[in-house]
Amino acid sequence: MFTRSRRRLAYWFTLSMGSILILFAFTVYHRQVKDRMREFDAQVYLQTQKIASLTRYQKQEKSWQIDTENVSLPNLETIPTESRITCIRWYDSQKRLLQFIGNCYPQRSLVIPGWQTLEYKCNFSGTTRHKNLRTLTLPLKYNQSLVGYLQVAVSLDPIQDSLGRSRLFLSLGVPITLGFTGIVGWILGGFAMQPVKRSYEQLQRFTADASHELRAPVAAILSNAQVGLLAPVDDSQQPRQRLENIVTQSKSMSALIANLLFLARHEGKLNPKDIAKTDIVELLKSLANQYRNLAREKNLDFKLDVTTTSLEVCGDRDLLKQAIRNLLDNAVKYTPTGGMVGLELSVKPRRILITVRDTGIGIPSSDLPYIFDRFYRVDKARTRQTGGFGLGLAIAQQIIQAHDGKITVESEEKKGTTFQICLPLRS
Ligand code: ADP
């Protein structure tokens, strides 16, 4: 599935980049042709005018005599080779050829004032070649009367050769670049697929873990129900005991489902309706009252260290309470009798730090990187007794991240654990 998506990404990337590239190459080539032709025409026009100014006319009886003594092709050799003149022809006003200089092939040419492009075939060492000629015909005038015509022919071959080289470069360069684009697309597709692959694997693992966790209580409920049904009719004790087991298992299942629903509903974002200013000091004090009693029941020392009288933070009060409660639950759960659980608040310039500390069993350093993963439990056998699913910290982290905060942990085995929530202070 991922390889197919990656291939598709690479394909679309190459296609879009290729289209842009081809369009770009075509535009550049088109512009180059236009610019070269404009430059070429300007050069030829200048030369033709120069030849016209060098040409002398003499009226003899009714016709004009043209004197081309000053005109020669070598005179014009300062001009670029691309627009070098190959042939100059002079015609009278009746368009009859009077004189010519240079290699005038084809011999016959149309005399129409302005620009013309001619294509002709010539035999070169036994092979027929197509040649292109550009001609410019200018009327020659003396005192407003038409004397004749001057026609200049320039071979288009040099310019076409150079444009042919550009065409060859583009026609080889474009497919090679497209090949590179395809490779780059494939590599980029791989990078783009990585987060998708990771979240897909996470989702798969989550679904498998959730099904696994739900299977155990369902199996227990079923076996208790079956054993209860098999009990003799006069035995009221056993079915009752089985029903109690079913209730316990159902409660555990319901708690798991509630946690799963919670994770799904609050994925990454807060409900704007539930965001309000919350007095965090008051919230911590009410939690402290609750957990002080719980700690006392377990013979634990509970310490509250909040010096500020009141401090408002922006957020979802119930969710923040839930996150801190999950940390306090763990602290009480994983601290043996005689230990200490602490809740602290410290206020920094633009953030607050809520710390939940305990002197409990601690978390091995090898487990610390995974502690916030869904369904992760340090010691499954140990937590089974305490009834945890490994979702409490994942929920706490999700809530804090949704508040643009951060949750961190420091722990040492057999010495204790410290969780710290950092929340931004917003006005
Ligand atoms: P659970 O519901 O199983 O407690 P959590 O996500 O809250 O799940 O915690 C994940 C695991 O992290 C627990 O199984 C436990 O092993 C470990 N843990 C969490 N908090 C503490 C703590 N304060 N002291 C020691 N271990 C802890």
CB 361 within 8 A of CB 414: yes
Q: Residues of the chain whose pLDDT is less than 50?
A: none
CB 158 within 8 A of CB 82: yes
Task: Say how many Å lie between the CA of residue 394 and the centre of ligand 1.
Answer: 10
At residue 380, the pLDDT reads 65
Which atom of ligand 1 lies closest to the CA of 390? 8
User: CB of 361 closer than 6 A to ligand 1?
Assistant: yes
120 half-sphere exposure, CB direction, 13 A CA radius: 18
Among candidate residues 114, 112, 102, 109, the one with its CA nearest the CA of residue 71: 102
The class (CATH top level) of 272-424 is alpha beta
Q: Which two tokens stand for residue 32?
A: 């180059």
Provide the angle, in degrees to the nearest 10, between the axes of the packed helices 157-230 and 237-265.
Answer: 160
Separation of CA 106 from chain center: 60
At residue 387, the pLDDT reads 64
Task: Say how many Å lie between the CA of residue 318 and the centre of ligand 1.
Answer: 21
User: CB of 334 closer than 6 A to ligand 1?
Assistant: yes
What are 194-208's pLDDT values in tens digits?
988 888 888 888 888
User: CB of 332 closer than 6 A to ligand 1?
Assistant: no
User: CB of 358 closer than 6 A to ligand 1?
Assistant: yes
Which strands, in side-by-side order, build the sheet including 97-102?
97-102, 85-92, 145-155, 127-142, 114-124
Which atom of ligand 1 lies closest to the CA of 326? 7
Domain coordinates of the chain in residue numbers? 57-155, 272-424
Global model pTM greater than 0.85: no
User: CB of 280 closer than 6 A to ligand 1?
Assistant: no
CB 403 within 8 A of CB 423: yes
What are 238-253's pLDDT values in tens digits?
888 889 989 988 988 8
